[in-house]
Structure 1
Amino acid sequence: MAVSSRARALYQRIADKIRTEITDGTLGPGARLPTEGEIAAEWDTTRSTAVQGLKVLVNEGLVVSDRPRGYFVRSRRPMVYRPQAEFMKRPLSPEMDTFLTQLSEEGREAGQHIEVSVVVPSRDVRSRLQLSEGELVAVRRRVRFIDGVPYNTNDSHFPLDLVQGSEIMNPDDIARGANVVLAELGHEQVRALDEIQVRMPTPDEADRLQLGPGTPVGVHLCTGFTGEGRPVRVVVNVLPGDRHVITYERSKPRLSSTPIIRVATATDLDTVVNLWGHAAAWLAERGTRQWQYPPRAERIAENIAAGECWIVEDEGAPVATITVDEHADPDFWSPEEIDDAALYVHRMVVRRDVSGLELGSALLDWASTHAAEQGKDWLRLDAWRDNTDLQAYYTNRGFTHVRSVDVASRGSGALFQRVAGYTRNVGPKLAEERAHDHS
């Protein structure tokens, strides 16, 4: 039996209605709200209930009280905060650092107040900087202003022994950035760990940022590390929730510099079948008939058992598969060709989220080298006859079209070959890792 929700109190419904009018634009920034008496009359209630509803909106930061004039919709121009800008190049003029430049371009007046002090770090900062009990830090405390309003705080903590006597100890803006100063001191940051929390402000934070009641803050903690893994900077950014939009930009993941190619084992059967199935689904979306049948798991298992099926892994995740063997399909290749010393490529699949990185080219180069190491003369394959894009792909990678063979009930039959040992050296380098047990 469904449980009915409890009816919302009248003051909450008053707040809900006005909140909706603010969010849908009916009441724009700076608009004057109805008076307490007008709201009470509209809802047939008391002034105290109307005031209670208005206080909800004040605490949410949507409305400001300006007695005796009344209540007004708060004008809000959120700042776009981009944590990924940490390692961006900075302008070289002190008055136009990253923060000031961004706001200037938006036609807003920006400023900041900087203090520097030597303090005993908090437990959290000491832990992130991996300091011993009693070690001190230099902290650069900044309040950033937009149009005269404090928008956020930015407190950077450094191990004192690293920055003593440097520009970091001066309460002035550093034109080229504290990161550059650290690098000049021999402690370049190459990696950062970002942590974001959402909570209510501490009394000190509320005072520094002149926050009204009920305003939550986002806290961005950024720990910077050197190439040796030493933490050298902890930044605590406090961002009032009513003044910021936190924006992250993410790029498509790239392959690592050296993906691993290894022979598949029996436990990889499902992985190979799934890679094949995903490729078949992608082809179906593009209207091709290629691979539109269930994967032949028994044949894949035979290739795995024979050590002929290979898996490519990037940082432990399977991203591609290829099978290379001596099986020349008699439906396509002539008896004379079957007698040639050749390796044949089957079921080469590259996962779609790493497409466009020439991983397929690297696999063909690997297979070509593999064939030459076995004393073969040719690397061969048969492609789908009506997949002209795929045929062009192989042609562009050094394969010669031998001929196309039309066999009833077979979609494949476009035959290609290239000389064993030929490589184009395009795409990532594959590091071969051989397994000792193919069972």
Structure 2
Amino acid sequence: MENQPEIVQQALALAQQAQDIALGWLTSPAAWSQFALLAVAFVLAVVLTRRFSPVITRLLTPPEEQTHILARTRRFLLQFVPLLLPLLAYALTGIGESVVRSIFDSGAVIAFGKRLFLFLAARILVRDIVQDGFLKLLGRYVLVPMAALYALGLLDPAMAYLNTLQVTLGNITISLMALLRGVVAGGVLFWLGRWSNDQSATFIKSQEDMRPATRELALKTAEIAIFGAAFLLLMNIMGINLSALAVLGGAIGVGVGLGLQQIASNFVSGIILLLEGQATVGDYVELDGGEAGTIVKMTARAAILETWDGKWIVVPNEDFITTRVVNYSDSGSANRYEAPFSVSYDTDINKVPAIIEEAVAALPFVLSDPDGPDCELRGFGDSGVDFAVEFWVNGIDDGKNKFTPKVMFAVWNALKAHDIEIPYPHRVVEIRGSGGLPFGQSEG
């Protein structure tokens, strides 16, 4: 034994201790009574679970058509029904433990049973309930081994050993135990933060009375508050003094001043856009640089424009502040367009406006408010008289919803129905030759 490594000696000592405990339990009437109580508690937990599990499942299952927050909460709690058996066994074992300790002044066996039931609960949680990939990995390799060590009574020695292993980074000293605790707590906190953020985002988006820009600002504020609180809690759990991060904060400030100022500018510009609401999700905008499309998403750094042909353009938020932006939508307001056309010089042009305005007004998408169709004389061209009809529509004349071609069809049909000629270019060609006759005449 003396020639073996220290870790082997410790393992053998623990094995000898476990053997002595097991022999003591096998020869003790108090231990046998505790084994009997454990068996009774487990059987009773099985019976109660079979009786109450269908009732709890029925109470927690909302109708499929319900999507409000109470229904989502019930569906969330429904996932934990498989934990009913080990938790009931744990509670019943706790009642039995108090009885055994009052009679025999000993409860080591039943305390071991309680820890064993917690281990089963942890295993069911990881295997059947947790669906997130990161949390499942964390539970499989951290939570379940810790629950097993706790069941065997080895968790405290293991934690004490991990606390002796430390890593020093400048003024910050972190033990391996603190790092492991931070990984576990961080995984749980940020999973809860993501879930809370999804729930708050769903709630805020359902508030149709709020302006789109206000909704976006509320979403960003809730996200920053939730994950900021999760970060502060994580630092506190890991035992890291936040004042020790002052150097890191100063380095980040220098980085912002030197290399990240453009990102910071875009972030501040995004907040200004959300506060002012001059451009928000759903608006069709056109920038000085030629970018044009419908805003489908606004992030902390940029806005995503979707063009009429389905392409996405990422435009930095700063461009909306420092350049001229034409907003055609402003959350669904009407827009005016015009369709040019020409008629022959032989036409009585006094009749044209009434004919065209009546034909365009009959189109279902043309609005009468703020103004109906207006046909105007624009000029006298080389081949005909130039007109244009102006019309208002509720939307954007883009690739998915082209209004102008339909108006042009209506203009064509109206002119044809009234025998009005649409001119085409004419050219007069004169050919002169020496001694010849003018073109078009023959000798007689």
TM-score over 0.5 for the pair: no
Q: Which of the two has greater helix per residue?
A: 2
TM-score (structure 1 length as normaliser):
0.21
Larger radius of gyration: 2
TM-score (structure 2 length as normaliser):
0.21
